[in-house]
Structure 1
Amino acid sequence: MAAVKSQPTRIVIVGGGYVGMYTALGLQKKLRSGEASVTVIDPQPHMTYQPFLPEAAAGSIEPRHVVAPLRKVLKRCHVVTGRATRIEHEKKSVTVELVDGHVEKFEYDVLVSALGAVSRTLPIPGLPDVGIGLKTIGEAIYVRNHVLSRLDQAASTNDAERRKRLLTFTVIGGGFAGIETLAELEDMTRYALRYYEGLKPSDVQWVLVEATNRIMPEVSASLGVYTVHQLEKRGIKCYLDTRVKSMEGGHVVLDDGTEFDSDTVVWTAGMKANPMLRDTDLPLDERGRVRCTAAMQVVGLPGVWAAGDCSAVPDLSRTEEDPNATCVPNAQHAIRQSKLLTKNILASLRGGQPKDYFHKYVGSVAGLGLYKGVADIFGMRFRGFPAWFMHRTYHVMFMPTFNRKFRVLADWTQAFISGREVVALGQLHEPKAEFDRAARS
């Protein structure tokens, strides 16, 4: 009598960001035929390479080129476009609300929590109404169109107060995302002004507000000070150790008494683990992240793994000085964790032992606009063009797929030859407005 073939192990990956896509890609390459099936669940049909969002917002990179289509990359995986709303490990099931609105449950044998992080907001009056995030490609496109449309409106008005409000741009949050967004967009507006009669660089005011007494804590204090000086040389007002009290109607009030009107407020003040994790029976720490071992196994739950921004993975490179140290939420850890996570899942499936994640922090790079940057690598500090070149080289190396690397390099080459594109496509946000107007006439 022939032996009954066992069913493939069902691997479900919740989240299609760095960890989700890279882990699925690794499994896709290394799983044996019939060994396991891989299902990736994410509300978006693509993975966004977030370090390039500031350049996409500023027109240095075509927005489509900083996303990787999950179905195209993960050809041997089952991609589900939907939002996971509940994980019940006791039943080994994930509840998903699909894009057409109906709900399905996906059962699993192995689960990977790769839900990532979302913007961390604060109860500041006016923030939900006027704040703009920068975590998704849609937000990057919106910010770009919004900023350029303010230049258009300012060039068309004779009201001095309205023009001042339109040309005052505020970025709240002095981490990497905030500084790179601020620097890239300021670069873009300065470049764009050459095409606007009646607008001068002195008319435009960019403002940075940071609650702590330094920016970009991932780099050395001296590079942080250098960056502030460089931003101020460009006419950017930097408020450090300052908090926003309110921004109702675009009227920004700071806790040092400063008040001004701004028609653009970009919020980049931190992240928090995906709140959906609260609707699971996975163990969470005080910050809402999944508790993990150093091998990225969820504590006390065999067959469940977590990595990236939603996980509390011990940072073995720092546990001697701080026994409770966990890996900071950044792309550097997420990408490296996903590579080891693939190997650990395969080892677990094949009766082996998973290995602990250990990655000593090697440094950070940040772009400050075209040909400008800072880098802190292996204790060595770089500024200006060398740091900017390191920033672009590092990130294009980790951009997924050769196709995307080539497209990004082509965008940079084209921008170098012909300059930035500085046109606002505001109709993207109301695509039917003109048709509706024509239909009513």
Structure 2
Amino acid sequence: MAKKILIVGGGYAGFYTAWKLEKLLRAGEAEVTIVDPLPYMAYLPFLPEVAAGSIEPRHAVVARRRHLKKTANVAGKVTGISHATKTATITPNTGEAYDFEYDQIVITTGSVSRTFPIPGIADRAIGMKTIEEAVAIRDRMVGNFERAASLPKDSAERARLLTVTVVGGGFAGIESVAELRSFATALLRRYPEITFDETKFHLVEAMGRIMPEVTEGLADWVVKDQTRRGVNIHLDTQLSSAEGGNIELSTGEKYESDLIVWTAGVMPRPFLRGTDLPIGARGHVVGTPSLRVATEEGEIVEGAWTAGDTSQVPDISSTPGPGGFCVPNAQHAVRQGRLLAKNIVASLRGEGVVDYNHKNQGAVAGLGMNTGVFRSGNFTLKGYIAWLAHRFYHGLAIPTWERKWRVFGGWVGHFFLSRDIVNIEAVTEPRAIFEEFASRPRPAAD
């Protein structure tokens, strides 16, 4: 009988695993099921550009049903795993939970934003981990410009609306604040009531430097470049409170900010701790270099595999990540997903599996329109050429040619027409106007 392969999570690693399995599996060899509450895989490196209006949101996601034609897609969540009985509990988006029996399970649940109990963050901040968050940030910023433009120049509310705070100085944080600063500068052409000096952008980073993935020299250049463009970068600084939009920093500085973006770390999904799979100290599924799930002592858990942000996979390359594990980024998730599919097929056929040993392709970041940084080994680029390298790399890296054409086509359109500045904040309550004017039955007569 065909083996049942269950993929938990449809992000990078899950999508690429299923995509590769469809190409490798023989007819009738296995049945692949992927479970995810969302119908698409989001290409996370594009989120800052989505927030800045440089990429159409739907172009930054890949519809799984369009490209996974042999894989069963289940809209829901895996809420329990008993690997001892090889049973997973699936809770669909609509309907009752049910048990699903499998032969092989692939844990690729990705990561979620990791926050700290800072007053106001849970109530006021927006993450930068989903396409919905990126769209909300874009709409909020344009909406704030619209609201601020009609307020008096000395209004405290106007100043609050035009102040953006990004927490976290890694790649996600730097790209987010740089893209938003660039977007705000472009918006000023459409809002003559607002001046450049009124728009305030703050980046708060607890460490003494930004972007640990690049050299200190390159990171220092980014700080100087973004400072010149109007970003206030607070190093060695922690966010103490954001209650009510009132920002308090560990340095004692205080100001008001309506838009707060949180990019200060990620963590695996907490439900994994409730399963019988081996979990590391920080909540990751323990894996081996061959992407098998294993105990901390190295004992293989047969029929279980893991990859991507949710996994704790030893980095056996010449340049291992912090702690000796692969860092949670798209580059690893994509490569691991492809290898994981090959190893699953090899395992089903009684063949040997291969260890994940990668060659670092470097790091590239977009820092707003026409500027960026690139590093590969000792070779670095910065400015316009690095920005082109960033767009070329990620434009080709997003899966499927259909999506590549949409992304590149959008960029070409923006070159001639500039970025679209329309915000559709009302989409969060699409029935509001209909309800306001809808006729209702009159109360029954007594």
TM-score by length of 2: 0.95
Determine the structure 1 residue equivalent to 2:144. Answer: 150
Determine the structure 2 residue equivalent to 1:369. Answer: 368
Pairwise CA distance, 1:378? 2.4
Cα pair 1:363 1:379 within 8 Å, conserved: no
> Alpha-carbon deviations, 1:87-146, whole Å to 9, x = none?
110111111111114212211101100011100010001111101011111111111000
Cα pair 2:181 2:230 within 8 Å, conserved: no
| 1:173 and 2:168 correspond | yes
Q: In structure 2, which of residues 278, 285, 292 is the aligned counterpart of residue 290 of structure 1?
A: 285
SS in 2 for 1:140: helix
Q: In structure 2, which of residues 49, 72, 77 is the aligned counterpart of residue 78 of structure 1?
A: 72
Letter in 1 for 2:112: V
Cα pair 1:85 1:279 within 8 Å, conserved: no
Cα pair 2:321 2:327 within 8 Å, conserved: no
> Alpha-carbon deviations, 1:157-193, whole Å to 9, x = none?
1261111111011100111111111111111111111
Cα pair 2:366 2:372 within 8 Å, conserved: yes
Distance in structure 2 (CA, Å) of the matches to 1:13 and 1:412: 34
Q: In structure 1, which of residues 101, 109, 115 is the aligned counterpart of residue 103 of structure 2?
A: 109
SS in 2 for 1:170: strand
| 1:254 and 2:253 correspond | no
Pairwise CA distance, 1:253? 0.3
Pairwise CA distance, 1:29? 1.1
User: What is the aligned residue count?
Assistant: 434
Written as runs of structure 1 = structure 2, the 5 A alignment for 1:119-138 is 119-138=113-132
Sequence identity, in percent? 47
Determine the structure 2 residue equivalent to 1:53. Answer: 47
Distance in structure 2 (CA, Å) of the matches to 1:207 and 1:429: 27
> Alpha-carbon deviations, 1:12-67, whole Å to 9, x = none?
00000000000000001111000000000011110000000111111111100111
Q: Hey, which bits of structure 1, 4+ residues long, moved more than 2 A?
A: 318-322
Determine the structure 2 residue equivalent to 1:94. Answer: 88
Pairwise CA distance, 1:432? 1.1
Pairwise CA distance, 1:439? 2.0
Distance in structure 2 (CA, Å) of the matches to 1:192 and 1:23: 41
Pairwise CA distance, 1:318? 4.9
Q: 1:420 to 1:221 in 2, by over 3 A?
A: same
Letter in 1 for 2:188: L
Determine the structure 1 residue equivalent to 2:27. Answer: 33
Distance in structure 1 (CA, Å) of the matches to 2:313 and 2:335: 12
Pairwise CA distance, 1:396? 1.6
Q: In structure 1, which of residues 60, 65, 85 is the aligned counterpart of residue 59 of structure 2?
A: 65
Cα pair 2:59 2:407 within 8 Å, conserved: yes
SS in 1 for 2:293: coil
| 1:163 and 2:162 correspond | no
| 1:268 and 2:263 correspond | yes
The gaps in structure 1 that reach 5 residues or longer are 1-6
Determine the structure 1 residue equivalent to 2:415. Answer: 416
Determine the structure 1 residue equivalent to 2:239. Answer: 244
TM-score by length of 1: 0.96
Letter in 1 for 2:347: S
Q: In structure 2, which of residues 172, 190, 199 is the aligned counterpart of residue 204 of structure 1?
A: 199
| 1:183 and 2:178 correspond | yes
Determine the structure 2 residue equivalent to 1:309. Answer: 309
Determine the structure 1 residue equivalent to 2:443. Answer: none
SS in 1 for 2:18: helix
Q: State the superposition RMSD in angstroms.
A: 1.4
Distance in structure 2 (CA, Å) of the matches to 1:320 and 1:253: 37
Letter in 1 for 2:306: A
SS in 2 for 1:241: coil
Letter in 1 for 2:195: K
Q: In structure 1, which of residues 10, 16, 35 is the aligned counterpart of residue 10 of structure 2?
A: 16
